[in-house]
Amino acid sequence: MALKALSLTALALGIGALLTACTASARADRIEAAFPPVGDFVQVTGGRVHYVQAGSGPDVILLHGAGGNLRDFTFDLMGQLTDRYRVTAFDRPGLGYTDRVPGIATGAFATDGDSPAAQVAMLREAATALDIRAPVVVGHSFGGIVAMAWATTGIGRDDPTNAAAVVSFAGVSMPWPGDLGTYYSVNGSALGGGLVIPLISAFVPKSTVDNAVAVTFAPQSPPPGYVDHLGGELALRADTFRANARQVNTLRPFVVEMTQLYPQITIPIEIIHGTADDTVPIRVHAEELIKIAPTANLVRLDGVGHQPHHSRPPEAIAAIDRAASRAGLR
């Protein structure tokens, strides 16, 4: 009887897992139909990179944050730059419509994250294919640490895709105290990747995603139309969800290593960071970065949350212009 009960339980769990996987897959198809790629693709080693490119002039690269995609920039900011820059917004590896870094384990129970340096290697290959030269690399949130990795991988390296300058919008840059909490520790684990994420992908309502996006703007609010344009639900797709959770969950050791190189950076670094940012606190990141990166300039935005490029676009654009001028590109 015990064996029979165990067999029935296993069968029920198996059927439940199958139904969840089918529901998550069908939902992913609907999400992709609603928010298809808005740009083009470039083939790189091991996969494809999705990008949007417009404008003319010195190159500017835009890198979105955790759980995001390049639509964050096509909403508004990109269009305010293309009159004087050639702007390229990338989906970072594993997010939006860009493939994961080649060679990394991607199974449901894997836990590896795409490191900032590995992401940069993939995006540099895409930049080379697109003939992007001496770009101003702009990163928001997690994109900020990838932008810093772009700068550190260029140290002592003669390469036309080396960054001419870095701009950080509320970017991650320094090691943080403590852990990241249950959300990332669970979803970045083998158990979370295999069992929890499929449930989230299948059943978490759109309103939860929209609310999570809105929270990142606090104490400000998203501009009208932003949430609908962003396609935040793209992050609910199981593979994307796993990639994002693992990137964040494994990030800190890479940041610790990178900070050893910050004093060697010679290119301009411009930072705008809100004093009310609870997601990437200014006191932990930007205010510590300027102590060890000699070329870094910080503009503090009083009362601004984690989305300074949307909450204060003039300051965001001015930071890019300053970086380009300091780099001799304007």
- Could you report the per-residue pLDDT of 272-300, keeping only the tens digit for each? 999 999 999 999 999 999 999 999 999 99
Q: What is the CA radius of gyration of the chain?
A: 20
In 154-290 the beta strands, taken as DSSP E runs, fall at 165-169, 269-274
For 109-131, the pLDDT digits (tens) are 999 999 999 999 999 999 999 99
For 16-72, the pLDDT digits (tens) are 454 677 888 898 999 999 999 999 999 999 899 999 999 999 999 999 999 999 999
* Residue 80: predicted pLDDT: 97
What would the two tokens of residue 50 be? 């999705």
| CA-to-CA dists, residue 152 to 56, 92, 102, 155, 165, angstroms | 27, 18, 21, 5, 11
Spatial contact of 296 and 266, defined as CB atoms under 8 Å apart: no
pLDDT of 14 strictly over 50: no
Rounded to whole angstroms, the Cα distance separating 69 from 141 reads: 12
pTM, two decimal places: 0.94
* Residue 17: predicted pLDDT: 53
**Mean pLDDT of the residues in the chain:** 93
Domains and CATH numbers, the chain: 33-326 (3.40.50.1820)
DSSP structural state of residue 194: I
